[in-house]
Amino acid sequence: MNIPDLLTHLGAIAVTALALLYYLTKEKARRESTEAELSRVRTEIEESKSRSTLLEEELKNSVDAANALNAEKASLESGIKEKEAAISDRDSRISGFERQVMELNSRITEKESLLSGLSATLEQERKSFEEKLSILDEAKKRLGDEFENLGNRIFEDTTKKFTDKNKTDMETLLNPLREQIKDFEKKVTDTHKDASSDRASLKAHIENLKNLGEQMSREALNLTTALKGESQTQGAWGEIVLERALEMSGLSEGREYHSQPSYRGGDGNTLRPDVIVHLPEGKDVVIDSKVSLTAYERYISCENEEEKGDYLRQHVLSFRNHIRELSSKGYQGISGITSLNYVLMFVPLESAFMLAIETERDLYSEAFEKNVIIVCPSTLLATLRTIHSIWQFEYQNANAREIAESAGRMYDKFVTFTEHLEEIGKRIEQSDQAYQKAMSSLRDGKGNLVKRALDLKELGIKTSKELPPDFSERSELSGYAVSSGKETDEGS
C-alpha cells in the first residue's frame, strides 16, 4: 500500500473515530439523562409506596373509628333503655308521692279534728277536776273544823265529868275517827297526784299530735301553696316543673330547644310559646304550660258532695278553655316555626290531669281533634327523652356519613394513585427496553461501537479517559463469541 492510500485510509479512520466519539458522547449524555429519569421514577415509586402505606393506615383507622362508633351506639341504646326504665320507676314513685300527699292532707284533717276534740275534752275534764278538787278541799277543811270543834267540846264536857278511865275510853272512841280523817286526806292527795299525772300525759300526747300535724303540713306546703295561689303563682310553678322536665330530658337549651321565643302571628300580635323543641330535618314541637288548678284545689278540699260536683265541672271546663285557647293561636301557620300539626298542652299536676280525663273520657280526643295533645310530667318527660334519643342518633348518623364520605374520597384517591403507579410502571418498562436496546447496539454484536473504539485506541489514538471495565470486557467477550462462531463455521 502506498503512502497516499495509507493517508486516505487513516483519514477515513480518523473521521470514523471522530464520529464514533461524537456518538459515544451523545449516547453517554442520553444514558445519564435516562439514569437520572430512572432515579427520579424510583424516588416517585418509593414516595408512592409511602403514601399508599399512609392511606392504608388511615383507612384502617377509619374502619376502627366506625367500629368504635357502632360500639358506642350500642352502649347508648342500652343506656337509653336503662334511663327509660328509671323514668318509668320515677314516674311510679311520683304517683305514689302524690297519693301520699293526698293521704297526708286527709290525715291532717283527721288529726286536726281529733286534736280539736281532745282539746275540748281536756278542757272539760280540767274544769270538772278543778271543781271536784275545790269541793274536796272545802269538805276537808269543813270536816276538819267540825271534828276539831266536836272533839274540843266533847273533851271539855267530859273533863269534869269523867275520870281518867273515861278519858281513855274517849280517846279509844276518837282514834278510829282520826284514822278515817287521815285516810280521807291521803285519798284526796293521791287523787290530785293521779289527776296531775294524767293531765301531763294527755298534754304530751296532744303535743305529739300537734308536731305530727305540723310536719305533715310542711310536707304538703309547696303543693298546697301552688294550688291555692293566684293564677300567676300557679303559672310560675308550672313553668318551674316544665323547666325541670327539660333539664332531666338531656336536651340542650339554645340548641335542641328555646324557651319563650317571640313570633309575630298572622294578625300582627306577638306570640310567645313557653318552649319550642327542635327536631331533626327542621321540624319543631310547641309546648305551652297551662295551669288553672283553683277549681281542682277546691274540689279536693271540699267535703260537700254537691259543691264537689260543681268544682269538678269547673275543673273540666278550665281544661276545655285552655284547649280552645291553644288551638286558636295557630302556631302551625306562624313564619319561623316549622311545627308539627299538634301542640303539646302541659299540665304540671298529674293527679289534676287524671281527674279531668277520668271525669270526661272524650276530653283527650276533643283536644286531639283541635290539634292539641294533653301531656303531664311523666308523658312529657318520656316524649322529651325520645326526642333526645332521636338527636343522638342524628348526630351519630351525621358522623357516620362524614366518615363514609371521607372513606369514599380516600378510596378514589387510592384508585387514582394505583393508576398513576401503573402508568409509571409502563413508562419504566419502556425506558428499560430502550435502554437495553441502546446498550445492545453499543457493546453487543459484531462491529459494536465499543469494539470499534477499542480498536481505534489500539491503533494509537490519544485519549484522556478509559471506558468502564464492564464495557471493555463485555465487548471483548462479544467479539470473541463472534470470532469463535466464524471459526466453527469454517471448520465445518
| pLDDT tens for each residue of 13-30 | 777 777 777 777 877 888
Is residue 116 very low, low, confident or very high in pLDDT (cuts 50, 70, 90)? Answer: low
> Quick one: 211 and 314 in the same domain?
no
151 located within any domain: yes
User: Across residues 101-112, what is the average pLDDT?
Assistant: 66
| 370-399: pLDDT as tens digits | 889 988 888 888 888 888 888 888 888 777
Residue 482 has pLDDT above 70, yes or no: no
Is residue 89 in a domain? no
Q: Is the predicted pLDDT of residue 165 greater than 70, yes or no? A: no
Judge if 169 and 256 occupy the same domain: no
Residue with cell 308521692: 97
Give a yes or no: residue 125 inside a domain.
yes
d(CA 490, CA 482): 13
What are the φ/ψ torsions at residue 275 (nearest 5 degrees)? -145, 140
- 458 domain-assigned: no
In a shared domain, residues 364 and 257: yes
When the pLDDT of each residue in the chain is averaged and rounded to a whole number, the result is 72
Q: Do 108 and 178 reside in the same domain of the chain?
A: yes
User: Residue 248's pLDDT is what?
Assistant: 86
User: β-pairing, 275-278 with 270-271?
Assistant: unpaired
Q: Look at residue 199 and tell me if it is in a domain.
A: yes
| Domain presence at residue 7 | no
Residues 270 and 333 in one domain: yes
User: Is the same domain home to 262 and 339?
Assistant: yes
265 and 347 in a single domain? The answer is yes
Q: How far apart are alpha carbons 342 and 427 in whole angstroms?
A: 69
* Co-location of 259 and 315 in the same domain: yes
Q: Please say if the pLDDT value at position 229 is more than 60.
A: no
Same domain, 210 and 124: yes
- Domain boundary among the residues 165, 197, 219 is at 219
Report the DSSP beta bridge partners of residue 287: 275, 344
Evaluate whether residue 341 is within a structural domain: yes
Report the relative pairing of strands 275-278 and 257-259 from DSSP bridges.
antiparallel
Same domain, 180 and 293: no
Q: Is 286 helix (H, G, I), strand (E, B) or coil?
A: strand
Our CA angle for 397, 401, 406, nearest 5°, is 150
Of 469 and 216, more confident: 469
- Selected residue with higher pLDDT from 461 and 244: 244
- Cα separation of 263 and 270, whole Å? 6
The amino acid at residue 391 is: W
355/315 Cα distance (integer angstroms): 9
User: How many structural domains are present in the chain?
Assistant: 2
From 201, 219, 237, the end of a domain falls on 219
The last residue of one of the domains, among 219, 240, 270, is 219
Q: Quick one: average pLDDT of 343-352?
A: 86
Do residues 179 and 279 both lie within one domain? no
Residues 430, 64: contact at Cβ < 8 Å? no
Per-residue pLDDT band for 49 (boundaries 50, 70, 90) equals: confident
CB 469 within 8 Å of CB 452: no
Residue 258 CB partners (closer than 8 Å, separation 6+):
275, 276, 278
The mean per-residue pLDDT over the stretch 469-489 comes to 53
Categorize the per-residue pLDDT at 42 as very low, low, confident or very high, splitting at 50, 70 and 90: confident
Range of the domain at 193: 101-219
Query: Quick one: average pLDDT of 421-443?
Result: 80
Q: Which three cell numbers, joined as nine digits, stand for 286? A: 310547641
pLDDT per residue over 117-145, tens digit each? 656 666 666 676 566 666 656 655 665 56
The Cα 16–Cα 453 span in angstroms is: 10
Q: Please check whether residue 60 lies inside any domain of the structure.
A: no
Phi/psi at 163 (nearest 5 deg)? -90, -175
Q: Are residues 266 and 351 in the same domain?
A: yes
